[in-house]
Amino acid sequence: MRDSRTILAVQGVVKLFGGIAAVDGLTTEVRQGSVHGLIGPNGAGKTTMINLITGLFHPSEGAIHFDGKSLEAKAPQDIAALGIARTYQNVRLFSGMTALEQVMTGCYLSRGTSLFASFLGTPAARRRWSESEERARGLLRRVGLTERDGALAETLSYGEQRRIEIARALGSSPKLLLLDEPTAGMNHAEATEIGRLVHELRDGGLTVLMVEHNMGLVTEFCDDCTVMNFGRLLARGNPQSCIADPAVQEAYFGRKQDADRIQALR
């Protein structure tokens, strides 16, 4: 069975924007080596949670621990250096960069040479550079992109751009990968492809936390899940039982008696 050690612990996290609590006292845990689904209706606070974990926002209250270390008041680049990488809900690739350059940029943390040595072009730095380039090429293959290395990312299809983002996030060899709706705008076959990739990555030792709307995908590919609604925890545990939970059903589809009443009015 998989490791049951907790790699990410979220304890009573609150995030206020003005008077509104986007995340309202959320507590959950992600096991090392698992694929963890973070689900909930629109506006539940899922993306805010991802932004809190990566340090783009800081919690108003509560604490987040990664690998036993507190992420409190840490800058995004320091959190990335601890081994957390992410993708974005609305693809955020760098304009003007080729697919390969995007992924190379993702390799920044694992470049293995100082900026100055790389500027001087010392033999060691050159070797490291071409190693990173090889790795970046490999990552593009890994996410299923061939013959796209030299193409400007903005000229590629939406699905391809999403996969470049995943490759870019893998560039730093993270321990925890946060995927914010990796299958948005993809058809079933493409989404299943992403699900398989996520499993492969997990089997290679990576922990994945993914925001996902596709319930079929969550039950098929997630080991655990956390369901949020209005910033609060609604349910936690294995995906099947979470989705069967009446509170979750209500949040997604409305209450049964309401549906019956509407039916009766027709």
User: Which residues of this protein are in contact with another protein, per CB under 8 A?
Assistant: 54-56, 75-77, 79-81, 85-86, 88, 92, 94-98, 101, 104-106, 108-109, 111, 113, 115, 118-121, 129, 151-152, 155, 168-169, 171-172
Tell me how far, at minimum, the Cβ of 55 lies from another protein, in Å.
8
Amino acid found at 208: V
As measured in angstroms, the least distance from the Cβ of 158 to another protein is 15
CB nearer another protein, residue 110 or residue 219: 110
Give 7 or 169: the residue with its C-beta nearer to another protein.
169
Residue closer to another protein (CB basis): 9 or 97: 97
In angstroms, give the least distance from the CB of 121 to another protein. Answer: 6
Percentages of the chain per state (helix, strand, coil), in multiples of 5: 45, 25, 35
How many residues does the structure list for the chain?
A: 266
Smallest distance, another protein to C-beta of residue 16, A:
20
Closer to another protein by CB, 209 or 235: give it: 209
User: Concatenated DSSP letters for 64-128?
Assistant: EEETTEE-TT--HHHHHHHTEEE--SS--PPTT-BHHHHHHHHTGGG--S-HHHHHHT-HHHHHH
Write 22-26 long-range contacts (CB < 8 A, 24+).
Answer: 22/48, 22/231, 23/48, 23/49, 23/52, 23/59, 23/228, 23/231, 24/230, 24/231, 24/232, 25/61, 25/62, 25/231, 25/232, 25/233, 26/62, 26/228, 26/231, 26/232, 26/233
Minimum distance, C-beta of residue 126 to another protein, in the bound complex (Å): 10
Taking Cα atoms as reference points, which of 247, 183, 264, 245 lies closest to residue 217?
A: 183
CB of 152 to another protein, least distance (A): 4
For another protein, the closer CB: 119 or 146? 119
Phi, psi (5° rounding) for residue 174?
Answer: -75, 165
Alpha-carbon gap, residue 114 to 75, rounded angstroms: 21
Q: Which is nearer to another protein, 168 or 239 (CB)?
A: 168
Find the shortest distance in angstroms from Cβ 98 to another protein.
7
**Closer to another protein by Cβ: residue 105 or 219:** 105
DSSP state of 263: H
